[in-house]
Every structure is written in C-alpha cells, then in structure tokens.
Chain A
C-alpha cells in the first residue's frame, strides 16, 4: 500500500509538472498582457504535431522537440503581431471569441494538413523503460518530463527575477502605462512574452505527445485544467502556476486513486463505485471554488500596481 501511495504521489507531481509547462505560458500571457488566450491549447497541439512530424521524418525524437520549440515560438510571434495585437483594447469577451475562433481554425487546419487520424512517434529505446527504485515503478519517460519541467521552472525563475528582460516583464505586469512612459517599447515586450508563452505550450505538447495521443482537440482536454491551475495559483504568477499545477496534479491523481476506498468506508460498495469517479473528476473544481472563496486573488497573486 505504501509503495502505491509513493507511486501515486510521483504520478501526481509528474502530471502537475506537465500542467505547469502549459500554465506558465498562459499565466504570463494573461497576467502581463491581460489577454485571454483560449488558443493556448492549440499551440500545445501544434507543438505535438510539429515535433511528431519532424521526429518521424528524421527518426530522432530529440530533434522533433528541438525543432518544435522555435517553430511554435515563431507561430506565437506571428499570431500576436497579425491578430491578437488588435484585441488588447477590446474586452475579454472579444478576446475569448477571437481565440475560440482560432481553436476551430487550428483544429480544421490540423485535419487538412495531417488528416483526422493523429500521429504517433516511437520513443527512443532508452526512454521507454521503467525503473524500480525501492520497488516503486517509475516510467523513465515521465522522469524525463519531470526533469524538463523543473528545468523550465528554474529557467523562468532566473529569467523573470534576475535578468533585464525579466525586469521589463515584471514592470509591464505591474504598471503598463508607467513602463511605457519610461520609454520601454511595451509592444515588443508583449510580443516576446506571447512568443515565450507559445514556445512553452509547444514544449508541453512535444513532451506530452508520447504519453497522450497526438490528436485533434488534444489541447482542449488540458486547457480547462490549466485554467484551474492559474486561478488557484493566482493569475500572472509563475510561482503560483507552479504550486497550483503540483496541487492539481496530486489532488487529481490521489482522488482517482483512493477516493473509492475512502467512500467505501461509509458507503455501500455499489454507491462508492458509482460516486467515486464522479466526485474524483470534480475534486479540482471543488478545490478551485474553495480557493476562490477564501483567497479570490489566488494563493500567490502577482504583485500589481
């Protein structure tokens, strides 16, 4: 039993880190640019498709990931300058509408280019196995995803807290007008932030591809969870996104694992069997509602001016 708990804890953290890759980009974009981007999931999907295509053509999974990053970054920059830039002054509702339109566009686009069937890429053999430290089964690839996610978290921390670009990003987030008044080209900062967020989504897609099926609409599946992460963590806060993602990952996995046993303690077997899956899939929303009630600004709100 205890190995199972450890294993599930690992699964939760691992799922959380994957969510963090998505949430970090989204929270940056929303927190700093005040832009509601529903198409974030589409960038995740395109990251998966681009990396899979390159990996299949070249035979190298690594190359696929390496190519997907700049490709989706470029796509992000293009989207921002061609479409989204026009939406900064409109309300969130217009942004939701426009970016929802993008979801439809990209889903159809993928169908036209890649067909409806999705693509799958083999992992290199050294990433496929399972290791058993102390009898706990850990898939190697999931460990790699964890390592990549932690590296990204570290990179973002250094970027935002220690560099000049990070300073501009923070300044832009705190007070956009003042930053612009001080002579910073806020438009360029925004383009950069959006590109960075897109690249993170692309990376998440490329990493998630070999675990989840690379298929049309894969982005919408995770987008909702990503929003929950951001609301819990505090909009615009990378630290919040990190903690929120881990919380969501662990709570989701633990609910799916043990809720039935817990319900079984005080409910008849059949009732527990029916209720547990339903409640397990609601747990993260219950957590979100609780956080919203006690701390509407989220656990780690970004400092605003």
Chain B
C-alpha cells in the first residue's frame, strides 16, 4: 500500500516534470492562473481582486497580442500549504502560462519554489514579503505592488514632519504586523511610548490595548489591521472615546473597510491619515481609466488590492504583445516587463533590480467624496521614486 502511494507520487512528480516544453510560435490561448483568497474574512479582498482582473480583461478586449485570454481563479484560503497546492494544480493540470495574484506574504513564500521551478512567470499582485524583494528575488518574479516596509516607512516620515513626538503602536502578532512596525521604526524619530501585538487573526477585542494607549497619553496611535479587524478596531476606538488622539494607519483603512465604517457611522475615521502607493483620485490616466471602468461595472470604489491586480494583467499583456504572442520567448517577455511599458495606475514607473516597482508613496486622508461616499484621497507625495530597503540584498543586476 505504502509503496503504491509512493508510486503515485513519483508518477505525478514525473508528470509535472514532463509538462510540455516551450512550444513553438504563437499560442492559441493564453492562460493565467490567479491565486487569491475567497474564503473567510479576507474573501472580500479576493473578490475585489477578481473584479479588477475582470475590469482589466474588459479593457484588453479579453485578448493579449490578439490571442484570447483565460484567467483561472483559485482560492488559497489564506493558507500557505493550500496556496502551494493551487499553484501546483494551475501549473500541472491547467498548464497556465503565467501565475499571478497572492495576497499574503506567508502564502507567497510557500508558492515561490513551485513557481520558480516551473520556469513560468509569477506576477505578485499584493504580498510584499521582504525575502522576495531581497535574497530570494528571482528573474521570473515581478511585483505590481510594493515591499511591505515601503508604506510604514513613509508614515514614519509623515509623523516626523507633523512633529509627532510620542506614538502608541498596535498591530497583530504575525509576519506582516512585525514588518509594519519594523518599517515604521526605520524612519520614525519620536518615541514609541507603548506597543501591543495582538493575537492574530482571532482577537477582535481591543479594550485592553485601547485602555493602555489612552493611559500612555501619546500624540498619535499607529495601527495596522487588515480585513474585518480594521472595522472592529476603529469602532472600539470610537466607543472608548479615543477620537481625540489622532489615528494613523497603513493597509487598514481602504475601499473595503470604509463602506463598512460608513454603514456603522464611525465618524472617528474621517480625517485620519494613511500612506500608500495609490488612491482612487491619483491623477494618472491609468487610474482614471481603471476607477471609471470599475465604478461603472461594480458601482463602488476599487481598493488598492484591485489596482495592483489590474496592473498585473496589464503587465502580462505588455509582455505578450512584445513577443507577438510567442510565449516561448521567455527572455524577450522578461525584458519587456522589466521596462514596465504599460499604462499603470501609478503612472510611469520603473522596475528596480529586484522587480519591485520604484514608486511614489503618498499620504492619503479619509474624506467624503462629492456624493458623500467615504474614500481615501491623496494629500501629498511623501516619497518620490522610493526604492524598497531590501533591493540591495537581491543579487540581480539592473540592465534596463
């Protein structure tokens, strides 16, 4: 029995290895495997990413370089092992030409080897793990998002320029939470008067942390709470009567949490600041097209997750067009992508040696738009053409 199982494994491993070698000339169909999360609370993010991929496909006429495109979506359930299985399935069974998507850093780290070994391109639409930007960078991995540290580093600068001397920090106790605090500390010059790391993802009660934050009398509170925890945290912030202390956030107050906060009439969030590479009112042709098309199709604002996913599709399209649909020309496709020659939501940008965008980071503020809908609005540019701090650890050289 045991050897029988082993045989099946060996056979499937062989089958994976024997996946068709680069086939000649123009493909008849382009297949993209998009891994994201549809189950559990992060399912909202996955839905927004899928919507945005669809908006991109509409814009492309469902064709890249004249060839029909099919995107196959897979749910990683926010679990690294599931993400890896899905990547194997997409590459082995569906024989996709590109992998894309991936929300969570830990899922990305699990998928990396499978993707790299396959020799196909992996276009990351969100996860900003420092490893992938640094030592574990790869010639076939591109990001259309950022590296985690870039965003909280910008917030640190903003706090310095606001003259904030004392800050209380609350974030969940997992990889990205730690990255955010590390990033903030890289630039913030004031004193961090208190820091709490809460149990992730189960802890939704923040009464103890809020009471401590109030007692510490800081000039500001910095948070990172992705997903539904944002809503819980900010509701409790207001219920605890903390709105007099300014709240600063990264990756928390977005097009997914703001409608919920507005539903709940949590006014405390209005006027708060966060930092990011993007906002719906960013003055670029790419953003204008994307936001208008998204709003027309789904009647709400897209999130930055969506903007990144949209960019992923356009980046892939730019590569396919550059080789006239001959997907066997990996090197030519790679150099095409390295030029970032597409209408990105962030405007014109260049890729760093590690295939992470060199990009502006903005200060955004929560406002009500002209229709009274709560959204984030770009206030000013904090970093111009910012390079993530890990690019120097990546052995790849910039040749473009």
Contact = CB atoms under 8 A, between A and B. Distances in A.
A27 interface: no
Nearest to B204: A212
B241 A118 contact: no
Contact of A213 (B195, B198, B215, B232): B232
Nearest to B197: A277
Contacts, number: 121
Contact of A212 (B40, B209, B232, B265): B232
A56 B202 CA distance: 26
A256 B173 contact: no
Contacts of A117: 44, 47, 256, 259-260
A80 interface: no
Contact of A120 (B202, B238, B263): B263
B41 A4 contact: no
A221 B211 contact: no
A79 to B, nearest CB: 23
Nearest to B214: A137
A224 B202 CA distance: 10
B60 to A, nearest CB: 26
Given A15-B207, A211-B205, 19 more contacts: A11-B208, A107-B39, A116-B46, A117-B256, A117-B260, A118-B44, A128-B238, A130-B240, A130-B241, A137-B240, A211-B204, A217-B41, A221-B203, A252-B208, A253-B207, A256-B198, A256-B209, A277-B198, A281-B199
Interface in A3-23: 3-4, 7-8, 11-12, 14-15
A-B pairs, 6 with minimum CB distance: A130-B241, A120-B264, A116-B43, A122-B265, A213-B228, A11-B207
Interface string A201-212: 000000000111
Contacts of A107: 39
A94 B110 CA distance: 34
A275 B22 CA distance: 51
B236 interface: yes
B196 interface: yes
B186 interface: no
A215 interface: yes
B203 to A, nearest CB: 8
B260 A8 contact: no
Most buried by B among A111, A129, A139: A139
Contacts of A210: 235, 264
A85 B368 CA distance: 52
Interface residues of A, number: 48
B250 interface: no
Contact of A116 (B38, B209, B239): B38
Contacts of A111: 43
A3 B208 contact: no
B340 interface: no
A38 interface: no
Contacts of B229: 213
A221 to B, nearest CB: 4
A8 B240 contact: no
Interface string A90-123: 0000000000000000010001000011111111
Contacts of B214: 137
Contacts of B259: 117
A29 B208 CA distance: 31
A216 interface: yes
A277 B231 contact: no
Contacts of B228: 118, 213, 215
A34 to B, nearest CB: 28
Most buried by A among B44, B207, B236, B260: B207
11 contacts: A11-B208, A117-B47, A129-B241, A137-B214, A139-B236, A211-B204, A213-B41, A216-B40, A220-B202, A277-B199, A281-B203
A216 B41 contact: yes
A141 interface: yes
A140 B240 CA distance: 9
A128 B263 contact: no
